[in-house]
């Protein structure tokens, strides 16, 4: 069994979700949302780093995955999201883990079957694949979807993982 953490980066709300993977079986472990604190960007990033580090210490993941950043029309917003994504990649690296990176469409296609699924569809399918899980919100559902995606495509990080043809 391998413990996988999925991280959905965000400057205000950073979603996280932990699952245990054994072959084609998934078991929900925990999920939540780190909410940044402070006014200054540096303080908000430090807050996210501290919270995510505590999550790693508590749940001890063995594999990690993060959603890739998409570029939108708001350049400043994209840069801030990229900085939060840096924290989402730094904490697993500090724990000695390699970090899988997945495009939003690939995550949705893996979990829902459709690359342009909305948040409600992602939440529904995550609940179907992790029955009984109490999900903290849409960011946490997205993070669990990222963990599930990594269980499918995680390469050497996930022994006995589900094998799918790479798109």
- Show Cβ contacts of residue 85 under 8 Å, excluding neighbours closer than 6 positions: 9, 66, 67, 69
Active site residue 20: no
- Cα(150)–Cα(32) distance, rounded to whole angstroms? 18
| DSSP E strand stretches across 23-159 | 25-35, 63-67, 99-102
Active site residue 101: no
Angle at 54 between CA 95 and CA 155, to 5 degrees: 35
- Which one of the listed residues 43, 67, 118, 157 is annotated catalytic? 67
- Which one of the listed residues 74, 101, 118, 139 is annotated catalytic? 139
Active site residue 8: yes
Rounded to the nearest 10°, the torsion over CA 87, 79, 69, 35 is 50
- Cα(74)–Cα(146) distance, rounded to whole angstroms? 24
- Which one of the listed residues 8, 43, 62, 157 is annotated catalytic? 8
Please list the active-site residues.
8, 67, 139
């Amino acid at each position: 069994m391998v413990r996988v953490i999925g991280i959905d980066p965000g400057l205000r709300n950073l979603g996280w979700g932990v699952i245990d993977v054994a072959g084609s079986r998934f078991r929900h472990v925990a999920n939540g949302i780190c909410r940044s604190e402070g006014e200054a960007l540096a303080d908000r990033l430090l807050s996210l780093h501290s919270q995510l580090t505590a999550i790693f210490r508590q749940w001890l993941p063995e594999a990690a995955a993060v959603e890739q950043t998409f570029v939108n029309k708001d350049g400043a917003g994209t840069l801030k999201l990229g900085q939060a994504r840096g924290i989402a990649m730094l904490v697993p690296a500090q724990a000695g883990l390699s970090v899988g990176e997945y495009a939003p469409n690939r995550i949705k296609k893996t979990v829902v079957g459709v690359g342009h699924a909305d948040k409600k569809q992602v939440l529904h399918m995550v609940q179907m694949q992790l029955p009984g899980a109490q999900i903290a919100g849409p960011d946490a559902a997205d993070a669990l979807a990222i963990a599930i995606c990594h269980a499918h495509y995680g390469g050497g990080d996930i022994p006995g993982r589900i094998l799918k043809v790479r798109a």
